[in-house]
């Protein structure tokens, strides 16, 4: 298959938005055909949106390229089924192929080794008096009434958990309860097929929040009014 578009997949939970944007810009400049650079985890739109956009722009033969040495084995095993799901759901009849990661590509590995040595003079020296392990503000446990664990792991993110995390933050603020909630994004919480998953403590109830309407109802009913939404609960921790 000669691709006419590429989706580069980045799996890196702790990548800052600014660095990700810089990486997007560099890869886009370097790629001679239309491309999208998406994260498997995080707050940005996921792979399905990227595929939709490229198809909307006319792509007919899409190569999906995992970026990272090595890329996660479990994601590589899961991606064919997830991409087939997108293909079935959208009725896409063009070409779609998943490349292997580049951990076996001798030319890429040689380029990394060469570049490391070429840039050694710019490496930041670390002396023994360089800062400390404990930073200011990391001693106190915050006094929030609600803890929300929002899964932005790869399989929830495939279902657009990243943008929903932003919607959740907006709803909490709009409904005046943001200060009551500690919202933490997490990696995979395991019931991926029920994603996007949000675990609410201390109530011990796990919810599937599939879209912005679910998020708005969750905030008004569960967080603000202290009730539950049985139809969205996927798990209850026995107390
Ligand atoms: S990726 Fe969210 S539960 Fe697995």
Q: pLDDT digits over 154-206, tens only?
A: 999 999 898 899 999 999 999 999 999 999 999 999 999 999 999 999 999 99
- Look at residue 146 and tell me whether its pLDDT is greater than 90: yes
Of the candidates 70, 96, 115, which is a domain's last residue? Answer: 115
Does ligand 1 have an atom closer than 6 angstroms to the CB of 192? yes
Residue ranges of E strands in 32-102: 35-39, 61-67, 95-98
% of the chain surpassing 70 pLDDT: 100
Best probe residue, ligand 1, of 158, 188, 194 (max atoms within 8 Å of C-beta): 188
Is residue 129 a part of any domain in this protein? no
Give the total number of structural domains in the chain: 2
Of the candidates 115, 133, 155, which is a domain's last residue? Answer: 115
Does ligand 1 have an atom closer than 6 angstroms to the CB of 83? no
Is residue 135 a part of any domain in this protein? no
Best probe residue, ligand 1, of 82, 149, 156, 160 (max atoms within 8 Å of C-beta): 156
Q: Do residues 168 and 110 share a domain?
A: no
Best probe residue, ligand 1, of 195, 206, 234 (max atoms within 8 Å of C-beta): 195
Is residue 122 a part of any domain in this protein? no
Q: Tell me, in angstroms, the distance from the centre of ligand 1 to residue 46's CA.
A: 13
Is residue 29 a part of any domain in this protein? yes
Q: Which of 5-14, 37-46, 148-157, 197-206 bottoms out in mean pLDDT, i.e. has the lowest?
A: 37-46
Q: For the whole prediction, is pTM greater than 0.95?
A: no
Tens digit of each residue's pLDDT (9 = 90 or more) over 47-99: 999 999 999 999 999 999 999 999 999 899 999 999 999 999 999 999 999 99
Q: Do residues 167 and 228 share a domain?
A: yes
pLDDT at 8: 97
- Domain that residue 84 falls in: 5-115
Is residue 65 a part of any domain in this protein? yes
Q: Tell me, in angstroms, the distance from the centre of ligand 1 to residue 161's CA.
A: 9
Strand 61-67: give its sheet, edge to edge: 35-39, 5-10, 61-67, 95-98
Is residue 141 a part of any domain in this protein? no
Considering only CA atoms, which of 162, 158, 196 is closest in space to residue 9? Answer: 158
Q: Do residues 157 and 94 share a domain?
A: no
Q: Do residues 75 and 168 share a domain?
A: no
Question: DSSP label at 223?
Answer: I
Tens digit of each residue's pLDDT (9 = 90 or more) over 119-136: 999 999 888 877 777 777
Contact between 156 and 149 (Cβ < 8 Å): no
pLDDT at 142: 83
Q: Do residues 153 and 71 share a domain?
A: no
What CATH code is carried by the domain that includes residue 24?
Answer: 3.40.50.1400
Q: Do residues 10 and 72 share a domain?
A: yes
What CATH code is carried by the domain that includes residue 226?
Answer: 3.40.30.10
pLDDT at 116: 96
Q: Do residues 9 and 109 share a domain?
A: yes
Does ligand 1 have an atom closer than 6 angstroms to the CB of 40? no
């Amino acid at each position: 298959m000669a691709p006419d578009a590429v989706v580069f997949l980045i799996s890196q939970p702790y990548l800052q938005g600014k660095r990700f944007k810089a990486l997007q810009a560099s890869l886009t400049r370097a790629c001679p055909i239309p491309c999208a650079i998406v994260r498997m985890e995080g707050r940005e739109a996921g792979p399905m949106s990227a595929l939709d956009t490229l198809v909307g722009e006319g792509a007919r033969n899409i190569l999906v390229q995992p970026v990272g040495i090595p890329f996660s084995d479990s994601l590589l095993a899961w991606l064919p089924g997830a991409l087939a799901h997108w293909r079935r759901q959208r009725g896409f009849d063009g070409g779609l192929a998943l490349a292997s990661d580049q951990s076996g590509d001798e030319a890429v590995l040689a380029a990394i080794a060469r570049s490391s040595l070429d840039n050694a003079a710019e490496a930041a020296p670390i002396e023994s008096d360089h800062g400390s392990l404990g930073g200011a503000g990391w001693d106190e446990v915050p006094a929030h009434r609600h803890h929300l664990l929002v899964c932005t792991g790869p399989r929830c993110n495939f279902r657009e958990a990243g943008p929903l995390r932003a919607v959740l933050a907006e709803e909490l603020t709009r409904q005046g309860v943001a200060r009551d909630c500690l919202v933490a994004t997490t990696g995979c919480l395991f019931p991926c097929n029920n994603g996007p998953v949000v675990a609410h403590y201390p109530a011990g109830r796990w919810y599937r929040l599939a879209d912005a309407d679910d998020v708005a109802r969750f905030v008004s009913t569960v967080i603000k009014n202290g009730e539950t939404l049985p139809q969205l609960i996927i798990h209850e921790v026995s107390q």
